[in-house]
Structure 1
Amino acid sequence: MKSRKVLVLGTGKSGICATKQILSLGGEVILYDSNAELDKLQLLKNFDKKAQVTVIAGELKPADLIQVDLAVISPGIPLDKPFVKMLDTAKIPIWGEIELAYQSSKGKLCAVTGTNGKTTTVSLIGEILQEEYADTHICGNIGNPYTAEALETKDDSATVLEVSSFQLETIMDFHPHVSCITNITPDHLDRHKTMKNYARVKEDIALNQTEEDYIVLNYDDPELKKFGKRKSLKPKVIWFSTSHILKQGLYYKEPNIHYVNDGTDEVLLDVHETNLLGAHNYENIMCAIAVCMHMDVPMKKILKAVKNFKPVEHRIEFVRERNGVRYYNDSKGTNPDAAIKALLAMPGPTILIGGGYDKEIPFDDWCKLFEGRVKYLILIGQTRNIIADCAKKYGFTNVVFAEDMEEAVKASAAYAEAGDYVLLSPACASWGMFKNFEERGRIFKECVNAL
């Protein structure tokens, strides 16, 4: 990287961290943002005054690419943008931040992708790894960019990485020793266009793995079941299931998680000894156990960490109990499949808050579950009419519109009775009304605690 001129596309958190990594390796950076109103001076405050950083805002021109050796693109930027195509024409290699960080990282690496469950699984893996490795790094799409950690890793480090489909689009040499795909259900079709393309990108997490590596897959997911049996797949497959008693791998049969290996069926733990709720979380536990077994963590340490693990913020997070009503924040339920899992985890009648940005995903499977489970559906955001029409198609008519989160929470409190559950699980992205799902969840909790 030394003496190379690198174009970093995107000035958000990942772009800034990528720039800092390139600078620390002796490179020169052109930092680009398509927003012509960008405050360049404010952006430059992220770096030393003498740092070799040039900022371009607005239109990127061919002349700006003179002597550029490499481009590093932030995951939020679609690859079909005109300025990205300009890089292809100029034959400038395009890396994602994951690839940039990987080139500098050391130690053992495991990586998790999937439509749902990634963050809980990665957080749990991180806590398990900390039981065995003094220098553990938990990063990626979980909120701490890989580029912020890569240069800190050492030969005896262990890193667990949450990887999105956007990040997997731009890998080249990226090679985890253990990979994991939690599931593949419709999401981000506004960017990937088809389920076939979306699944292919997710499965690229194993692109550079060899016969010496491992991949953990969901036996209950039809796409992954096919993928795991492909002859071209090189890493050893470790299966997990909540629906089948497996002959090899991990499976859940109430109330226990089992591990079957070479004909021996061993009960690992009773799920009621954990702090996690719902079958989807038992999948997350099995993922984490399987990954950490092959990251050389002793089973005793794995199970200790699993039993002590607390739910991740915004993932079916208990907020409070008021007048006998329990409130849960599942703001990370940004697609129908995630929202289905959260709804099924509720033990009783539920007031459901949903709606948000339209990612062009059908809501039918979610809406089919409302009858008999949901007392009232309170909708906000761009998709509220779409979801309301879909719910009515399946005979559910207890639908209420709210203009913002405060109104939605007050309405839920008005309709809820002792023994009920109030669940924020939107089945949609947060954009339009909120900066991100974290802000949406935080505001929900503030409104609940203000009741």
Structure 2
Amino acid sequence: MDFKNKKALVYGAGKSGIGTAELLIHAGAHPILFDEKAGITSDEILERLDGKIRGLADALTGDITPEFISELDLAVLSPGVPTDIPNVLALKQAGIPVWGEVELAYRVSGGKILGVTGTNGKTTTTTLLGEIMKNADPDTYVVGNIGNPYTEAALKITDHSNVVIELSSFQLETIEEFHPSVSAILNITPDHLNRHHTMEEYIRCKKRITLNQDKRDTCVLNYEDEVLREFGKECNADVFWFSSARVIENGIYYADGEIILTRDGKHERIAETDKLSLPGVHNYENIMAGAAMAYSAGVPLDIIRDTIAAFKPVEHRIEYVDEKNGVVWYNDSKGTNPDAAIKGIQAMSRPTLLIGGGYDKKSDYRDWIRSFDGKVRWFVLEGKTRHDIKAAALECGYPEEKIVLFETMHEAMEFCRDHAEPGDAVLLSPACASWGEFPNYEVRGEKFKEYVRKEIQ
């Protein structure tokens, strides 16, 4: 699309929307920022833009009318905007192209695209892959759901750049031409059903990462995920399997403390897991996926090996914080759904005081609770979901006398400080989003670490 003089609605005026509007301006379009938030004014929205280009955009509050829609050439949704709300449906019915920031940035920029999606492990895998690609070629950008908007990097990206992008199901809903040369779907378990409504729709959105791929491209898939094993039979791209449970010929696998890549009958050791900084089989899966993607992109094995050996854990994902009085504290604030939280408790090797709870995403907590395997000495629940999680725990047979409820995370941490014993671990792994008490999981994790380092003597 030629963006010059095109009128584009930017739906959502947060960080993502501002980045989108600024990219549209640089591409020659005229953006109109729209925010449904009650009480906000057009001037307040426009003040968020860079002062040099503020006069090249407009802002809209209130209602989106048919007359307004008729004047548009394009609409770009922020990731948090559902695609099935009345305003968005009206845009689609009027024939207005409805994109997300990923599609826009892709249309404006270039480069070799390596895209990572899945329910859990995206951030660790994306970060590792980004480090591998940077070590192979400094002209590499790591963007997307990891916290660096693709739109902010788009104008710097050239046809020779590498773009490593973490993609959520929300972002994949609105792609049209987005085409990664290498993609990965790490796993698929229930998440964001408050947005997608059904598991089938959530799976459909995840699979869309391969929408424009063909057999010249590569898709890295988890052989131990039943949904993905079936998807591999119909995938448009050449499939590169990884497994944590069996030997894979022409793939990559974990066995007997080693990660092995096999190609054309050759077996190459990529890593010895006891020498890595990332604990747990789920992290070995993330490493395998990142290594497979880098290998598929042509990175030499010695660079892949050296980067993996030096790689440190992702912040807020089973992150070691400190040991105080014989108690080890772990921050897994990024465990925002039950399956991610399962990985957190599985990585523990000590009796654990587990802090859970937060914003209600209508999740089913029972599999998480069943995964405790006798490790959870105290189940410390806080936030809006505390009563629902307690009910699920009782249904699963977890002892009621070992469940305690608090309104805030601070109160939960005080309980853990007073009741943890030498040899224990305290794990913040909420299985819930942070919204309500905290603006995002990063702030929640930072508050947890701050408390551990400053309040516990």
- Which TM-score bucket, shorter chain as reference? over 0.9
Look up the match of 1:73: 77
In structure 1, the residue matched to 2:195 is: 191
Residue 49 of structure 1 deviates from its aligned partner by: 5.3
| Cα distance in 1, alignment partners of residues 53 and 129 from structure 2 | 39
1:227-266 per-residue CA deviation (whole Å, 9 max, x = no partner) reads 0112xx2211000010111122111013100112122223
Quick check: 172-181 or 53-62, which moved more? 53-62
Q: Structure 2 counterpart of 1:76, which letter?
A: G
Q: Residue 167 of structure 1 corresponds to which residue in structure 2?
A: 171
Structure 2 counterpart of 1:304, from 285, 290, 306: 306
Give 2:294's match in structure 1, choosing from 292, 296, 303.
Answer: 292
Instruction: Determine whether 1:155 maps to 2:159.
Output: yes
Query: Number of aligned pairs?
Result: 449
- Check whether the contact 1:245–1:251 (CA below 8 A) recurs between aligned residues: yes
Aligned to 1:446: 450
Give TM-score, length-normalised by structure 2. 0.96
CA distance in 2, matches of 1:372, 1:234: 43
Structure 1 stretches of 4+ moved >3 Å = none
* Distance change (3 Å), C-alpha of 1:303 and 1:37: same
Q: List alignment gaps of at least 5 residues for structure 1.
A: none
Q: Does 1:88 align with 2:92?
A: yes
Q: CA deviation at 1:89?
A: 2.4
Cα displacement (A) at 1:365 = 0.8
Q: What is residue 208 of structure 1 aligned with on the other side?
A: 212
Using the TM superposition, give the Cα deviation of residue 357 of structure 1 relative to its aligned residue in structure 2, in angstroms.
Answer: 1.3
- Candidates 257, 281, 284, aligned match of 2:283: 281
Determine if the alignment matches structure 1 residue 353 to structure 2 residue 355. Answer: yes
TM superposition shift of 1:281: 0.4
Summarize the alignment of residues 343-382 of structure 1 with structure 2, pairs less than 5 Å apart. Answer: 343-382=345-384
Please identify, of 203-212 and 243-252, the stretch whose mean Cα deviation from structure 2 is larger. 243-252
The answer to whether the Cα contact below 8 Å between 2:270 and 2:304 also exists between their aligned partners in 1 is no
Cα deviation, 1:279-326, whole Å, max 9, x if unaligned, reads 100000000000001111111011111111111111011111100100
Render the CA deviation track for 1:2-59: whole Å, top value 9, x for unaligned: 1111111000111111101100011101110111312432332323255321111122
Q: 417, 437, 440: which is aligned to 1:436?
A: 440
Does the CA contact (< 8 Å) of 1:212 and 1:235 recur in 2? yes
Cα shift at 1:66: 3.7
Evaluate the alpha carbon distance shift between residue 50 and residue 289 of structure 1 in structure 2; reply closer, same or farther with a 3 A threshold: closer
Q: Deviations over 1:366-410 (max 9, x none)?
A: 111235110000001111111111111222121011121111111
Which of 143, 149, 173 aligns to 1:145? It is: 149
Q: Distance in 1 between matches of 2:413 and 2:205?
A: 37
Q: 2:224 aligns with which of 220, 225, 233?
A: 220
Amino acid in structure 1 at the alignment position of 2:272? D
Shift, 1:64, TM fit: 2.1
8 A Cα contact 1:114 1:184, kept in partner: yes
**Contact kept in structure 2, 1:121 and 1:285, CA below 8 Å:** yes
| Cα distance change of structure 1 residues 33 and 300 upon mapping to structure 2, 3 Å threshold | same
Matching residue of 1:97: 101
Q: Which runs of 5+ in 2 are unaligned?
A: none
Which residue number corresponds to residue 318 of structure 1? 320
Match of 1:396 among 388, 395, 398: 398
Question: Structure 1 CA distance, aligned partners of 2:38 and 2:190?
Answer: 34
Tell me the equivalent position of 1:238. Answer: 240
Q: 1:49 and 1:126, CA in 2 relative to 1: closer, same or farther beyond 3 A? A: closer
* Residue 10 in structure 1 maps to residue 45 in structure 2: no
**Aligned-CA RMSD value:** 1.2
TM alignment of 1:11-50, pairs within 5 A: 11-45=13-47, 46-47=49-50, 48=52
Q: Do 1:240 and 1:287's aligned partners in 2 also have CA atoms closer than 8 Å?
A: yes
Tell me which moved more, 82-91 or 22-31. 82-91
Q: In structure 2, what residue type is equivalent to 1:324?
A: G
* Match among 330, 333, 336 for residue 331 of structure 1: 333
Conserved 8 A contact 2:271-2:308:
no
1:154: Cα distance to partner?
A: 1.2
* One-letter identity of the residue aligned with 1:148: E
